[in-house]
Structure 1
């Protein structure tokens, strides 16, 4: 399995790379090859003070490369120039990556609730699964919010085709998973006289997912809520504190895919833990 690991070479990204449990989780799901990517902004050009940005970044990248190599990964580094999300997606396509990993952090109490522009733009445009690794700051030190990336998963599904693809991704990372919370939200505005039937159908579908996971000795829990999907998903995440929330991003058109969709984008931006976003027609 091959991943693209996007880094801005900041202290926050160094903290994420140095977290051994996260590296062990990547190994457990079969990752053997890591492509470290950092981007030189397009407006950085020769003639500016310290103009050899590519050389400087490549030198800084060697430290992170060594961490991955010491953990047993095959590593390639890429220093590219341009718009960050376009170049990161471009490298992922070129190397046929199975997943893109991006750190997400806030710079202030307000921005702690909002993902950075690069992560947001990758989420909107990537055709490959995107893992947003949440990074927090404790005093002067950065650390990952949830160290064991795939140990305790919350899978939120609306039973759409894309949600089914997202469940396939849950199955692929099962070797690093001990527990899965299966979640479905019944929007109250859609419930009517058939509410009881809708509840039963949702329970039956979640039970089918549970049976699939339990054959691999993964502990499962089923939760069905009624209400506004975003509010309820975030509330359940707060209650069960998963290390990873998995959600599909639906798109019925190219424009819809670029906009990512209200539910998935707000979950990505406001979840407290890591988020794995599975786009339509991902591998």
Structure 2
């Protein structure tokens, strides 16, 4: 399986890579090939006296590559110029990536660009499952917020086709996941209309039975309220290492938009978020 790791060559990105438990999680879900990509701004200015940005960039990229190689991954590096989310999605489509990984914080001293904004743009347009890994900063030091990326999964579903596609990720995650919470949120207006999901408790129990066959300890919850608010409240209550959910599908003309629930969760979640987009067009 192939993964893309988007790096801004910052200390925050290196922190995410150097966490041994994070790398072990990638191994457990079957990742063996990593494409390390950094995207240069089209507006980078050269010629600053005493500063060789190319040399600094090459050293930083080589150091991050070594971290993956020492962990046993096959690695390719890509240095490209343009708009980050477009170039990253373009690479994902070209190599048919199984996973894209982006840090949620971190500012590069080389390019002075925030990877956090890049993460949000990729979340809106991603063509492959996207893991947004939270990196915390405290007095200049960085650390991953959740070392075990997939150990405890909060899966939120509205039982749509895309939500079902997100659930299929458990086939890859099962060797890295110990606990799962399956959540369905119904808004008050849905309870009063034909849009209400029939017997969500039983449908969640059926999904839980599938996970328990793989040895994943599973609980289910049905909550009522605004979906994004209830997903975030459940995150606070059960402390998952990752929230798993599908993005809403759109026509080709609307692919710049992600489902509003997913977008709110990406922006406000405390931990990691794994977003699964609709199937690639054949």
Same fold (TM over 0.5): yes
- The 5-angstrom pairing of residues 237-256 of structure 1 reads 237-256=235-254
Which residue of 2 is the match for residue 110 of structure 1?
none
Distance apart, 1:138 and its partner CA: 2.4
Name 2:182's counterpart in structure 1. 182
Spell out, residue by residue over 1:88-138, the C-alpha distance to the aligned partner (whole angstroms, 9 max, x if none). Answer: 11222222211100000278xxxxxx9822111111111111000001112
How many residue pairs end up in the alignment? 275
Residues 11, 106 of structure 2: 8 Å contact kept: no
Matching of residues 77-226 of structure 1 within 5 Å: 77-105=77-105, 116-192=116-192, 201-226=199-224
Structure 2 counterparts to residues 69-84 of structure 1, below 5 A: 69-84=69-84
CA distance in 2, matches of 1:40, 1:216: 43
Matched-pair contact (CA < 8 Å) for 1:146–1:274: yes
The answer for unaligned runs of 5 or more in structure 2 is 108-113
1:258 matched to 2:266? The reply is no
Partner of 2:111: none
TM-score, normalised with respect to structure 2: 0.91
Aligned counterparts of 2:24 and 2:221: Cα–Cα separation in 1: 29
Of residues 254-263 and 127-136 in structure 1, the stretch that sits farther from structure 2 once superposed is 254-263
SS in 2 for 1:175: coil
Deviation at 1:193, TM superposition (A): 8.1
Q: Aligned-pair distance for 1:184?
A: 0.2
d(CA) in 1 for partners of 2:139, 2:254: 39
* Aligned residues of 2:30 and 2:172 also touching (Cα < 8 A): no
CA contact (8 A) 1:105 1:134 kept: yes
Extract structure 1 runs of 4+ deviating beyond 3 A: 45-56
Q: Which residue of 1 aligns with 2:28?
A: 28
What residue ranges of structure 1 are gaps of 5+ in the alignment?
108-113
> Shift of the alpha carbon at 1:140?
2.5
Farther off after superposition, 246-255 or 218-227: 246-255
**Aligned counterpart in structure 2 of residue 267 of structure 1, from 265, 268, 273:** 265
Shift of 1:216: 0.7
Cα distance in 1, alignment partners of residues 258 and 172 from structure 2? 23
Q: Distance in 1 between matches of 2:41 and 2:194?
A: 54
Separation in structure 2 between the aligned mates of residue 177 and residue 103 of structure 1, nearest angstrom:
21
CA contact 2:13–2:106 (8 Å) conserved in 1: no
Q: Secondary structure at the match of 1:250?
A: coil
